[in-house]
Structure 1
Amino acid sequence: MGNPSGGSDRGHELVMMGIPGVQTFISEAQSTSDLANASDVIARVARTAVDAVQKAGGELVIPASLRDDVPTPNRIVALVPEGRGRAVAEGAAAAVRERWDGWVRTVLGRDVEVPGFPEVMWSVAGPGDYPEQWQRAGRALAARKRLRAFDAPEFAGRQPCPLAPRWPAEDAPEGVPQHMKKTRISAAGWVKRRWHALPGLPSSRSGGFPSTASIASAPYRAELLGLEADAPPCRLGRRAPA
């Protein structure tokens, strides 16, 4: 369809999409599992957008190829037929929102609004030479990111999430381990917390995670093991009677 090497592509539009707030979403974590799961959630969100673009007939530029064992980047570029750019981008954003709402329902058992996340920002450059399309789409997307929509949802009488205070805290869903039953975090936080534990979620990992304490103490424990290996052998014998 297109010519990403730099030639003319006057019959197609270039769609450029990005998912903002990635670092903030990942950093709002309390454990190693939160960090790993947040990264996986973002990759799955991006993959949802990519699948929607391909289903609508778009030709991917970024990512150039898709593999299940490689996370999808949060920047997506595609060439689409002329006049279809806006519809393709809006369709991808709607697919992401629908998929996210389904994950929230799977975790919490009900619909819970998460204002501003996930958000898909996009721009469309009309037909023209590919390098020029890329420049126009990139400038437009950068301008769109600077023009942020400041949602101001009101949650009167509710406790803010201790990890992400822009959202209200939610009670622990059914089926959580005993040590989580008194935890109250946002709906987005619960998706991260339960991402690898529920079969209805597309997590790339189903096992456990090393604890934060075990990772922090790993160098110290390695040093102790090294000292033990270098120490002379100790023989235990029977003490002679007095």
Structure 2
Amino acid sequence: MDKKSIIIVILFLAIVGLSVSAYQLYVSTSQNVTMGEHNVLVLCADSSEGRPGMGAVDMAFIIKLNDGNITQITPVYPGGMVHPTAEVPAYLQSIGESKLRLHDSLWDNDTEKGVKLAQEIVEINTGQKTDVVLVVNVEAVDAALRAIGPIYVEGIGDISGNSLQILRNEQNNDGISRGNAVQGMMTAILNTTQNDKSKYLTLLNVGVNQYNQGNIYVYPKGAFAQFMIAEGIQKTIS
């Protein structure tokens, strides 16, 4: 995935900074990702698994930023990653879980608590500390695909929804890793929107709507407001 494609993913998530109170976020946020070095933890949540919170963490990425530019993208596979001391929800204990897994870090309705636990788990298991977290679930991705689709995904063809099943098919039938499958879909979104301003604007609007519906979460809130103003709005008017 090249820098432009991951930026479109970030913009899709970070448009929330302009959803209701962009000006307030712009002047108050302490997390200006256009300056200095930042590690961003992106959590891909599967909301089809029954639980009170946003969903099960099936895939994650650590994105390194330097003055707003992507310098490194590291896939993070949740399998085997646990928190040594965090409390395990009662239901998970009842089915034999003794440690809180990254997969289950967003179990509770308290998403802020969940993303902090996810940050701790990733740091404990990888040694990489993150200062910003983005969560996006399947509903948000499918909403984007419906709005701008069909999109052409290399090796699959045209798709306009059902992203989770498509990703699973790539893994189970084609032997493609979840990380590569997710990146391939995001690249397809980029290819669909980069030369079509109307679809790009549609994608941003989907981001706003999905944030308001609770399918996208940014921590700390407003962290990407300045990045959006510097990058996203410039792109929409150029």
TM-score over 0.5 for the alignment? no
Q: Which has the higher strand share?
A: 2
TM-score (norm 1): 0.29
Relative contact order, CA 8 A, sep 6+: which one is greater? Answer: 2
Q: Which has the higher helix share?
A: 2
